[in-house]
């Protein structure tokens, strides 16, 4: 056991001088979810304009953080300013189609106003999908033009690569509008009922991180698209329960082991609307997770994934000859993780590709024949994502974890691959960096935070030198978090060895301020525990629920168990074909460590999690009640037979091949092991982890005569969106732990008045810092 990162955190860029002079306000759940955000200005969807003269981003209004406008930092005038006010385009409540609502839920997008935007190639115009229509905005005249005005909804809106067309999906078909003539072209005609053209199927959106189903060729002559036939997928009739009505929803839900959609890849000629289907092989039970054109528009690449996800092929299709070949094949005895790290060089003669073939995700350079030129990065650490290729100067830029798995930095390696072990770190400050490169590779945007520093956005030269702040987000007297900052608790980081000695497990520990010697404190273990996630990072958490819990007298503990992300395949693969075993064992290891701390009350250690974390809360409460004395399970998967094909079969294989693993990975064999208090909550319109998971759990607990608490939320989806829902939910969770751990709430009755006063003064201050 050892504490790490303390020196780095103390050396944070935030100056704490003068902070102690202001008495901190007490944090409340109401304030956490009120406007303005306690995190300060938080730009989203950062992008360089095509001409490189401005950096644009979405930002919530001061008075309503969930309504977004488009802002810019002008690199010539060096000022931040509002570029497009969403109210000027469309005011009032948006009405969205069911398809768009589902798409936004898959994207985890919540809010109104400008949620997406796209620049034309010359940077003179913008596209906004709003309220089911398309708005074209001219930057010079500052005028908008509504391109569509139909009863139908237009979604997945794109500029063509040269900016001559706008494309979109309407009623399950692909359309394009010639911007100059205004002529509308219908590119597909058979989209209806179970046939969807250019649209991403459910598992592509939810599990593959693919939100579109069509792609323009760079020369604008063709569009590649996927034709999805949902007829093989079973129809599930489920209830969506709202406050004043119950909707019966017929949803084609591909539960694990059942049929997927039938999917075809095709191209359509923009001039004559001629459609050509591409032969993807005899095996029809497949996935097509990625499609990408080559820069010369002569060929199209697509990734072919087997149903069991143990084989991934990168195929190349020639548009003229209609011939194709497999460039490379990745195989695994467990599963292949998908990625977005394919980049063809400008001459289309070689490409960069990411692979975990040596146990860690790294970058490789191949020629167009699929022959390896060089491995570009190497070591017992992982690449996060490929960011840019500077072909002129011979550098490849990527984000990764070469220094520590708890931080993300920008690195570069030579394109010639002569020194894969010696990467060059570009970002300078310790913490978490999200990077967006300019098109000319001369500069990049850095969205940065660490455990002591709220999110800051800055512009840098390609060598890492700071050019200017885009949003410094300093904690001045006007910052929303200033009244609470004195009481913000910074966590301790540390590591443990797993009980079998095979893995190093990182943890994060929040302790109450001014702990009383000899007093023992209750603990809440905040868990997710599932694949493709990481909770223990040197990243800003701010005045969130963990802080509230700590200020109420709880210790908050987080540990990333095996199966979670950014540690290599040896750390991920132990969960294969048997979920809820090694993850629970590692969380028990964490609790055993807590037992060694003299200030921990081992009789008051609770656990809380949502989604996979909800599953983990149930499995730990049912299987390890001697360690976890109370638990809250949110929107849990309880029976993996109820979850979707692509996610579940990746980790548990097909039910026919692993029936015992499915049985043992569900919560039901262990229900009788429940000893302590349990609360379950679930959104009653959840279309991801279906509410059936909880109704089945309710029945099982009742059959075993197990007493439990239940809270359901009418109309809520899986993400539990909305201030009122979040405030009530978190008050309910805290009330549960307070009752069962005999904790008296720390917030005084008079605090509600000071919160209202502070929120009002923060609204007056606005986001003046950095804007």
The residues annotated with a catalytic role in the active site are 611, 686, 718
CA dihedral 228, 191, 339, 259 (to 10 degrees): -20
Whether a cis peptide bond, with omega within 30° of 0, leads into 488 is no
> Shortest CA distance to 507 belongs to which of 528, 517, 492, 522?
492
> Judging by DSSP bridges, how do beta strands 709-713 and 678-683 pair with one another?
parallel
Backbone φ and ψ of 416, nearest 5°: -75, -10
Angle of the 582-595 helix axis to the 612-623 helix axis, nearest 10: 70
CA distance 387 to 339: 13
> Shortest CA distance to 691 belongs to which of 301, 340, 326, 247?
247
CA distance 482 to 540: 15
> Do 586 and 592 touch, CB atoms closer than 8 A?
no
CA distance 23 to 16: 14
CA distance 648 to 197: 26
Q: Which residues contact 161 (CB under 8 A, 6 or more apart)?
A: 121, 216, 217, 218, 219, 220
CA distance 488 to 510: 10
> Shortest CA distance to 560 belongs to which of 606, 610, 508?
508
- 211: phi > 0 → left, psi -120 to 50 → alpha, else beta; which? alpha
C-alpha distances (whole Å) from 576 to each of 20, 334, 337, 531, 612 are 50, 7, 13, 11, 15
CA distance 287 to 299: 20
> Do 718 and 683 touch, CB atoms closer than 8 A?
yes
CA distance 202 to 241: 21
Give the total residue count for the chain. Answer: 771
Q: Provide DSSP, 194-218.
A: TEEES---HHHHHHS----SEEE-T
Instruction: Enumerate helices (H) and strands (E) in the chain, giving the number of each.
Output: 14, 45
- Type and span of the H or E element at 713: strand 709-713
> Shortest CA distance to 630 belongs to which of 725, 485, 741, 768?
741
Backbone φ and ψ of 8, nearest 5°: -65, -40
**Which pair of structure tokens corresponds to residue 122?**
């010359």
C-alpha distances (whole Å) from 37 to each of 59, 62, 181, 235, 758 are 11, 8, 44, 41, 12
């Amino acid at each position: 056991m050892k504490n790490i990162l303390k020196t780095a955190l103390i050396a944070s860029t935030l100056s704490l001088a003068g902070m102690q002079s202001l008495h901190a306000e007490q944090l409340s759940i109401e304030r956490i979810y009120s406007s303005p955000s306690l995190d300060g200005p938080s730009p989203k969807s950062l992008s360089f304009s095509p001409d490189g003269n401005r950096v644009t981003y979405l930002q919530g209004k001061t008075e309503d953080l969930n309504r977004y406008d488009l802002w810019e930092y002008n690199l010539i005038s060096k000022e931040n300013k509002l570029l497009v006010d969403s109210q000027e385009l469309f005011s009032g409540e948006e009405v969205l189609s069911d398809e768009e609502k589902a798409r936004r839920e898959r994207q985890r997008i919540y809010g109104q106003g400008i949620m997406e935007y796209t620049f034309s190639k010359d940077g003179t115009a913008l596209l906004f999908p709003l309220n089911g229509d398309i708005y074209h905005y001219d930057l010079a005249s500052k005028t908008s033009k509504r391109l569509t005005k139909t009863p139908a909804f237009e979604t997945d809106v794109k500029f063509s690569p040269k900016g001559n067309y706008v494309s979109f999906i309407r009623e399950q078909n692909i359309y394009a509008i010639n911007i100059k003539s205004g002529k509308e072209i219908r590119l597909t005609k058979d989209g209806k009922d179970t046939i969807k053209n250019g649209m991403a199927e459910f598992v592509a959106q939810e599990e593959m991180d693919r939100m579109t189903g069509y792609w323009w060729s760079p020369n604008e002559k063709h569009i590649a698209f996927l034709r999805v036939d949902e007829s093989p997928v079973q129809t599930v009739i489920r209830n969506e329960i709202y406050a004043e009505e119950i909707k019966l929803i017929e949803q084609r839900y591909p539960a694990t082991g059942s049929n997927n959609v039938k999917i075809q890849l095709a191209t359509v000629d923009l001039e004559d609307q001629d459609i050509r289907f591409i032969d993807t092989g005899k095996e029809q039970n497949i996935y097509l997770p990625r499609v990408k054109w080559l820069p010369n528009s002569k060929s199209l690449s697509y990734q072919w994934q087997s149903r069991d996800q143990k084989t991934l092929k990168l195929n190349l299709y020639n548009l003229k000859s209609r011939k194709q070949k497999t460039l490379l094949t990745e195989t695994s005895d467990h599963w292949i993780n998908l990625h977005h790290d394919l980049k063809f060089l400008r001459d289309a003669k070689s490409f960069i590709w990411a692979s975990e073939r040596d146990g860690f995700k790294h970058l490789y350079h191949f020629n167009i024949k699929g022959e390896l030129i060089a491995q570009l990065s190497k070591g017992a650490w992982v690449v996060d994502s490929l960011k840019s290729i500077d072909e002129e100067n011979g550098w490849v830029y990527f984000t990764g974890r070469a220094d520590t798995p708890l931080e993300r930095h920008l690195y570069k390696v030579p394109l010639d691959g002569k020194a894969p072990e010696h990467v060059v770190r570009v970002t300078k400050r310790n913490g978490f960096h999200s990077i967006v490169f300019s098109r000319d590779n001369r500069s990049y945007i850095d969205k940065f935070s660490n455990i002591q520093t709220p999110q800051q956005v800055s512009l840098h030269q390609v060598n890492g030198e700071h050019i200017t702040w885009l949003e410094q987000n300093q904690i001045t007297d006007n910052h929303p978090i200033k009244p609470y900052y004195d009481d913000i608790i910074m966590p301790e980081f540390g590591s443990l060895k797993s009980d079998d000695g095979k893995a190093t497990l990182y943890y994060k520990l929040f302790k109450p301020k001014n702990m009383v010697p000899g007093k023992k404190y209750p603990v809440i273990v905040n868990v997710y525990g599932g694949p493709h996630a990481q909770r223990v990072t040197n990243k800003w958490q701010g005045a969130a629920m963990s802080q509230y819990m700590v200020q109420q007298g709880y210790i908050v503990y987080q540990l990333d168990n095996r199966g979670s992300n950014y540690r290599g395949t040896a750390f991920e693969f132990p969960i294969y074909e048997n979920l809820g075993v090694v993850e629970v064992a590692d969380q028990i290891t964490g609790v055993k460590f807590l037992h060694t701390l003299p200030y921990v009350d081992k009789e008051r250690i609770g656990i809380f999690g949502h989604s996979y974390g909800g599953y983990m809360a149930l499995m730990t409460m049912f299987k390890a009640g001697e360690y976890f004395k109370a638990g809250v399970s949110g929107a849990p998967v309880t029976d993996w037979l109820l979850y979707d094909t692509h996610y579940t079969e990746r980790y548990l294989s097909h039910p026919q091949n692993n029936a015992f693993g499915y049985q043992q990975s569900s919560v039901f064999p262990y229900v009788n092991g429940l000893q302590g208090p349990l609360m379950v909550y679930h959104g009653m319109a959840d279309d991801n982890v279906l509410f059936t998971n909880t109704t089945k759990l309710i029945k099982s607990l009742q059959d075993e005569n197990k007493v439990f608490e239940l809270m359901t939320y009418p109309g809520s989806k899986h993400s539990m969106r909305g201030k009122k829902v979040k405030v009530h939910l978190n008050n309910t969770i805290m009330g549960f732990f307070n009752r069962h751990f005999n904790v008296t709430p720390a917030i005084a009755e008079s605090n509600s008045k000071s919160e209202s006063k502070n929120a009002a003064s923060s609204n007056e201050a606005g986001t003046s810092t950095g804007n």
